[in-house]
Homo-oligomer: A and B are copies of this chain.
Amino acid sequence: FPWVCSALMAFARHFPASAALLLLYPCLCMPHGGSYSLDTALDRLYRKNVVEGRGSLALDIGGTLTKALFVDSSPSQGVLHAAAAKLTKSVGESFGARKSAERRRKTYVGLSLQVPALNATLHFFSFETRYIEDCLDFVRNYAGDQRREKLVVRATGGGAFKFARRFQDDVGVLLDRRDEMACLVNGITFLMQNVPEEVFSVTSKMRSPIASPGEGLDFRKNYRKTDPSPFPYLLVNIGSGVSVLAVRGPGKTGFTRISGSSLGGSTFLGLACLLTGVTTFEEALELTRKGDVCKVDMLVGDLYSGDYGAMGLDADVIAASFGKVVMQRSPDEAAAAVAAALNPYSGEEGAVDATRTDESLRAADPLEMPFQREDVALSLLRMVSNNIGQIAYLNARTSDIRKVVFGGSFLRGNPYTMASISAAVHFWSRGRMEALFVDHEGFAGALGAFLCDTPYKLGMDGSIFERED
């Protein structure tokens, strides 16, 4: 019996309570003798993390986005289970018909995932962290009023610390806080090991580090098989900022945060907001789809009137992001015209008004081109994507790891973003490395939080107490 007991506890440690309960169900049904009632203890453990009949919840509260994972492990689980559907609906209702609330809460039905390894179906949601009360409403609704004791929800990200008190005071939910990086690694490793049609490399026509999406990207995903031992790999997570982790094995001691960058998703969105007047990530991405990167960036060809052959730099390589702004002549007039063109509040969208600049100067310099908000948005996206691809490549070199996996909400499944990163990795590594992506790129942290060791230990007397680590 001691062996069974320790095996059970090992299971309980390695699987979330809800899944563990399902896995252990046959054991719990076995008649057994002993000094305490194991099923009662596990039942209490279960209640700590799961609302009966409504599955389990995990949160990843980042600087810009809050990602929520709803794990439906009920016998009647479906692609979008009734409980999840009800959650989604009720959140929508709590905001009425307000457009802004709709815009800041997303339900990713297409990403819902049946995971045999967990005997559960996962559903994904996101909220804008600046409107954290949207998420509080969601969790309040999830918790309902049927609970008998204080509900515990696993959470990670900086907001799990920052907003802990509001979750406790406003919603009556205790956040079981988990290390952000450990959760990310947990989540990505789990996806690589267990979910088919999840990890992919991309092919596109973008082999050079510049190209415009209008040219026909011809983007394709090439899915990889699941891999029981995906180590070592480099995890590059692009949220508000960027974290670079060297993952050499499973568990908390298997990885190190080796690098990062402050040029991440919020840099793209923040600058896009200021420069083009968009207010959401989706609007910013939408703009990029009509942009031309050659209008704003200074290319090698602009400097040399051709390739820089001696250094192997083709004419279409970006020499300086936003460099063409500086190549504009008559700076006062040009800047005024550009600012007017870019500022959506001036009532003048679109190209720079040619009549505003000195025609004789314009004629003297073929590089002076007007550009539009779309071009600016695209150059921003390229700047951030290329830079991350390069930093990823360099860190892969310094840590001697060749498998580079990109995650985080910056990607948003956007083909152009992934093609840019992939092209940058290909360019800098001279084709020796390949960028990998995952379909659930934004939710690795929440998934990892859900998959984390349970925070509770079962005492030999059946008591439950928190781990100290």
Which A positions have Cβ atoms within 8 angstroms of B?
Answer: 62-64, 100, 129-131, 133, 157-159, 161-162, 179-181, 240-241, 257, 259, 261-267, 269-271, 273-275, 277-280, 296-298, 300, 302-306, 308, 310-312, 318-329, 331-332, 335-336, 338-340, 342-346, 364-365, 367, 376, 383, 386-387, 390-391, 394-395, 397-398, 428
Report Cα–Cα, A159/B265, bound state, in Å.
35
Q: Is the CB of A270 within 8 A of B336?
A: no
Collect the chain B residues with CB atoms within 8 Å of residue A277's CB: 335-336, 339
Collect the chain B residues with CB atoms within 8 Å of residue A265's CB: 320
Collect the chain B residues with CB atoms within 8 Å of residue A322's CB: 266-267, 270-271, 274
Q: Is the CB of A329 within 8 A of B274?
A: no
Collect the chain B residues with CB atoms within 8 Å of residue A129's CB: 327
Report Cα–Cα, A332/B269, bound state, in Å.
14
A335: contacting residue among B263, B273, B305, B320, CB under 8 A: B273
Q: Is the CB of A319 within 8 A of B63?
A: yes
21 contacts between A and B (CB under 8 A): A63-B326, A63-B327, A64-B320, A64-B326, A130-B326, A158-B304, A181-B310, A259-B428, A261-B387, A262-B386, A263-B320, A264-B320, A264-B321, A271-B271, A275-B275, A277-B335, A279-B331, A280-B331, A394-B397, A397-B397, A397-B398
Q: Is the CB of B338 within 8 A of A345?
A: no
- Chain B residue, CB-CB nearest to A387: B263
Report Cα–Cα, A298/B261, bound state, in Å.
12
Collect the chain B residues with CB atoms within 8 Å of residue A311's CB: 180-181, 257
Interface on chain A toward B: helix, strand, loop, or mixed SS? helix
Number of copies: 2
Collect the chain B residues with CB atoms within 8 Å of residue A296's CB: 270
A266: contacting residue among B304, B312, B323, CB under 8 A: B323
Chain B: minimal CB distance from A272 (Å): 9
Q: Is the CB of A298 within 8 A of B63?
A: yes
Report Cα–Cα, A213/B180, bound state, in Å.
32
> 20 other contacts beyond A63-B302, A270-B320, A274-B339, with CB at 8 A cut-off?
A157-B303, A158-B302, A179-B310, A180-B311, A181-B310, A240-B319, A240-B323, A241-B320, A262-B386, A264-B320, A265-B320, A267-B321, A269-B326, A273-B331, A273-B338, A274-B322, A274-B338, A279-B335, A345-B346, A394-B394
Q: A62-B303, A332-B279 are in contact. Are A324 and B270 (CB under 8 A)?
A: yes
Q: A161-B304, A179-B310, A397-B398 are in contact. Are A262 and B321 (CB under 8 A)?
A: yes
Report Cα–Cα, A312/B259, bound state, in Å.
11
Q: Is the CB of A326 within 8 A of B240?
A: yes
Collect the chain B residues with CB atoms within 8 Å of residue A383's CB: 262-263, 267
